[in-house]
Structure 1
Amino acid sequence: MLTGMILGVLVGIVLGLTGAGGGILAIPALTLGLGWPMTQAVPVALIAVGTAAAVGAVGAWRQGLVRYRAALLMAVLGAAVSPLGLRLAARLPESLLAAMLGALLLFIALRTLLATRRSTEDERLGRSANCVLDPCTGRLCWNLKCSATLAAIGSLSGLLSGLLGVGGGFLLVPALQQFTNVRLNGVIATSLMAMALVSGSTAVSAIYAGASIDPLGIGFVAASVIGMLVGRRLLSRLPTRFIQLGFTGLCAVAAASLLIRP
């Protein structure tokens, strides 16, 4: 039980610091740290990520940072597509799912490492984007291009949530940074709301399909919420580069463990 609680806190801290990485590390924490099979780990990871993300999103909502229309659109499409990912996962061998998750982690580690050398946020906001903010109202300008972009992001996030049990934030945050001119704190806040909704709906689908949560899983979920609160407090005290490099190292270690395990 203690190991599960510690791992839950660590996952929550990473989620609070990055707005993205906790979900992608929840499955390795459960499969490698506790020795659970993927089928047992997926619903617990989704509930943990969804609950922790919801706590973070509530705090961000109070600060007026959440782009709730964008989050709702992505969440609705993600929830609609996630059952397809669950059905695919049920038909694939666990070794293949673990290898896919390991490869995804390696990709994310490389992307995060490269991101430390890219342009500053002010330079990013100066680029053209598919979804832009109205300078008068401060809200997104909704058109076909913007709606289609957010719908595609949400759909892919939902598919991966069902297939690999990840929260989707690892995709939502960089995608929103790439295709919108919303500032990073707003990107993370919007990502947390969408993650909470997509992860929650996917977890419900998994439980409806027969998955169960034991007391250790409930403890992991509770610990992840505590970790989220700690991570949000640490966010303003740690340099961004330090957070990025630390996250890169965690992803690389988890990926190697998944890919070389028997």
Structure 2
Amino acid sequence: MMSFVLGSLVGLLLALTGAGGGILAVPLLVFALHLGLAQAAPIGLLAVGLAAAMAATLGLRDGIVRYRAAMLMGGLAMLLAPLGVAAAQRVPNTPLTIAFAAVLLLSAWRMWQRARHALRPRTDAPARAALPCVLDARDGRLVWTRPCAQALAATGVAAGVLSGLLGVGGGFVIVPALTRFTELSARSIVATSLAVIALASIGGVGAAAWKGTMAWDIALPFAIGSVFASLLARVIAARVAGPRLQQGFAIVSVGVAILLLARGAGWLAVR
């Protein structure tokens, strides 16, 4: 029951704040259920991956997922996520916890910046010619060039390794990269990022299941709660979600990161 409740909280955060909300799945499992980070990571990845797959399917239906870019990034992420899972089983819990806290702080900072820019829109967008990936004016698809493929491939590699190692999905890497390297709309960036996260999760969860490190008795109710709550929360998300909520979530993330750093440094013992 506790696992289902925690998963429901993650699903609510995913619906209200976007893909970044899933990064709190692992800290919740660590502090509430007293799991090691290597145990919690694949469970969090399963919940985030299912929620991302559901949202990406809706994006495909609406035609806003750039599926070729998602297949390149997601394919590489799916192949490399098992390497991250294997590394997580070998790295001691303390440095892994500190690494996750650093990633959480970075994610919080980026979410704060996105919210701030949404409240005060900027007009100094990068010149179209300076972007590696531009859209074809005739059909709205990405124009594939070597710089574009290299930028997207590097993004997929980073997302895959981090997904398997920390169970974070990789949205905090994918969304800024697509924003920086492409001229896709915000809706298309988020939908494409969710498709990549879903593919990366297949690799990470599959590797954990193969190695026998997935605690299914915790993972299944956690994932079911996440999907169930995210579906219900879609009804209210459009009314209450927004930049101010994202800034509040960023502040909460900083607090959680500080607690993880304290635990990793041995100042906070969890029994």
Question: What is the TM-score when the length of structure 1 is the normalising length?
Answer: 0.92
Task: Provide the secondary structure at the position in 2 that maps to 1:132.
Answer: coil
Residue aligning to 1:72: 71
- Is 1:12–1:225's contact at 8 Å kept on the other side of the alignment? yes
Assess, with a 3 A threshold, how the Cα gap between structure 1 residues 72 and 231 changes in structure 2: closer, same or farther.
farther
Selected match of 2:173 from 171, 174, 178 = 171
Q: How does 1:111-126 map to 2 (within 5 A)?
A: 111-118=110-117, 120=121, 124=125
Assess, with a 3 A threshold, how the Cα gap between structure 1 residues 212 and 107 changes in structure 2: closer, same or farther.
closer
Assess, with a 3 A threshold, how the Cα gap between structure 1 residues 213 and 239 changes in structure 2: closer, same or farther.
closer
Residue aligning to 1:238: 240
Selected match of 1:223 from 215, 222, 225 = 225
Assess, with a 3 A threshold, how the Cα gap between structure 1 residues 232 and 190 changes in structure 2: closer, same or farther.
farther
- Is 2:131–2:180's contact at 8 Å kept on the other side of the alignment? yes
Tell me how far apart the structure 1 counterparts of residues 72 and 233 of structure 2 sit (CA, whole Å).
27
Deviations 1:143-165 (A, max 9, x none): 11111111000000001011111
Tell me how far apart the structure 1 counterparts of residues 211 and 84 of structure 2 sit (CA, whole Å).
13
Alignment RMSD, CA only? 2.0
Tell me how far apart the structure 2 counterparts of residues 17 and 200 of structure 1 sit (CA, whole Å).
24
Gapped regions of structure 2 (runs ≥ 5): 264-268
Residue aligning to 1:254: 256
Residue aligning to 1:131: 133
Tell me how far apart the structure 2 counterparts of residues 239 and 47 of structure 1 sit (CA, whole Å).
24
Q: Tell me by how many angstroms 1:192 deviates.
A: 0.8
Assess, with a 3 A threshold, how the Cα gap between structure 1 residues 235 and 181 changes in structure 2: closer, same or farther.
farther
Residue aligning to 2:88: 89
Residue aligning to 2:196: 194
Worse-superposed segment, 53-62 or 104-113: 104-113
Assess, with a 3 A threshold, how the Cα gap between structure 1 residues 123 and 42 changes in structure 2: closer, same or farther.
same
Q: How does 1:101-116 map to 2 (within 5 A)?
A: 101-116=100-115
Task: Provide the secondary structure at the position in 1 that maps to 2:116.
Answer: coil
- Is 2:13–2:21's contact at 8 Å kept on the other side of the alignment? yes
Name the count of aligned residue pairs: 261
Does 1:147 pair with 2:146? no
Tell me how far apart the structure 2 counterparts of residues 140 and 234 of structure 1 sit (CA, whole Å).
33
Structure 1 residue identity aligned to 2:116: R
- Is 2:80–2:203's contact at 8 Å kept on the other side of the alignment? no
Q: Tell me by how many angstroms 1:131 deviates.
A: 1.0
- Is 2:16–2:241's contact at 8 Å kept on the other side of the alignment? no
Q: Tell me by how many angstroms 1:239 deviates.
A: 5.1
Residue aligning to 2:266: none
Residue aligning to 1:158: 160
Tell me how far apart the structure 2 counterparts of residues 132 and 232 of structure 1 sit (CA, whole Å).
31
Q: Tell me by how many angstroms 1:133 deviates.
A: 1.1
Task: Provide the secondary structure at the position in 2 that maps to 1:246.
Answer: helix
- Is 2:112–2:246's contact at 8 Å kept on the other side of the alignment? yes
Identity, in percent, stands at 42
Assess, with a 3 A threshold, how the Cα gap between structure 1 residues 242 and 109 changes in structure 2: closer, same or farther.
same
Tell me how far apart the structure 1 counterparts of residues 127 and 12 of structure 2 sit (CA, whole Å).
31
Structure 2 residue identity aligned to 1:16: A
Task: Provide the secondary structure at the position in 2 that maps to 1:95.
Answer: helix
Gapped regions of structure 1 (runs ≥ 5): none
Q: Tell me by how many angstroms 1:231 deviates.
A: 4.3
Residue aligning to 2:8: 9
Question: What is the TM-score when the length of structure 2 is the normalising length?
Answer: 0.89
Q: Tell me by how many angstroms 1:120 deviates.
A: 2.8
Task: Provide the secondary structure at the position in 1 that maps to 2:214.
Answer: coil
